[in-house]
Amino acid sequence: MKPLVTVTNIFPQIALDKLSSECDLNINRTSLTKEELKQKISGSDAVISYLTDRIDQGIIDKGTKLKIIANYGAGFNNIDVTYASKRGVWVTNTPNVLHETTADLTWAMILGTARRIISADRYTREGKFQGWGAKLFLGGDIYAKTLGIVGLGEIGQSVARRAIGFNMRTLYHQRNRLPDGEEKKLNVEYATFEKILRESDFLTLHVPLTDKTEYMISNDELALMKKTAYLIHTSRGKVVDDYALVAALKEGRLAGAALDVYEDEPQITEGMAELSNLMLLPHIGSASFETRDKMALLVAENVLDALSGKTPRSLVPSYPQ
């Protein structure tokens, strides 16, 4: 009898084909409620989950045969990893395959918010464009400005490499400083968190959600930023205090911002939709055809590893070996 793999939502066919020869698949096409997820996971040997699936102790306990929870995404804060480990259940994610795509989107957000692309597009579609105007949709320059990157992991480094073409001064901050050779290669300069807040013209966030990064950007941090600065956020929603950001944008204490993730995702914070200096995207950091297929294939490989008795190849960070 083949092992049973539950897929909680739509999933690329290329990965389903890879799994189907060795597993029975329980495929769902829409989001599952908590009770539905409990029911589906019961009897499953593996589950392929979305970031929107909250897999807590109660759900894990239902998976009496469960060997692996394979998250279809780089994040994993939707899963109680500590409890899963205690139960002997592997937890995996999809690192090393989505950083270039997310860096591309980060730059689209930098350019789009500084040059007011979305507002200008809407203005034109609404038939308001009457010809060139000296003050029509004035925005901010990017070339030769200061870029601040908080979190210089795979995505942050990919963002930094692209900044070289814009002749930018690039500051970075993270817990561990890179070796001198790596800094020179990326053309980056290490800075304290306070310095990066004060000096960045564009501040982009690429950190995981932890106790230390939760609400790392709130009222006090926004108060240190230039009024002409832009905040770009593609990491995890609760890294930024959305209410504090809305207030700063409304009061002109920040020039603009672009968000791909939200504090209470999928809900956006009250007041956001009305702000013309805020770009709102629906969590599409890794949304290219090629990257989503690569992610799905890695998920499938993790599942097959676990079901064959091997240690999965991409355990979440700090998972007990």
| Annotation marks residue 173 as catalytic | no
Say how far apart CA 55 and CA 65 lie, in whole Å: 15
Rounded distance, CA 106 to CA 98, Å? 12
Assess whether 283 carries a catalytic annotation. Answer: yes
Contacts of 20 (CB under 8 A, 6+ apart): none
Distances (CA, A) of 300 to 173, 258, 314: 34, 33, 11
Query: Considering Cα of 219, then 259, then 153, then 229, what sign does the dihedral take?
Result: negative
Contact (CB, 8 A) for 6 and 47: yes
- The three-class DSSP label of residue 173 is strand
State which amino acid sits at residue 142. I
Dist CA 12 CA 283 (whole Å): 18
Task: Answer yes or no: 265 catalytic.
Answer: yes
Alpha-carbon distance values, 131 to 35, 124, 136, 244, 249 (Å) = 57, 10, 9, 37, 29
In the set 99, 173, 206, 236, the catalytic residue is 236
Q: For residue 212, what is the DSSP state?
A: T
Rounded alpha-carbon distances, angstroms, from residue 57 to 4, 31, 84, 100? 21, 19, 8, 34
What does 285-308 look like in DSSP terms, one character per residue? TT-SHHHHHHHHHHHHHHHHHHHT
Contact call for residues 207 and 150 (beta carbons, < 8 A):
yes
Catalytic residues, by residue number, are 236, 265, 283
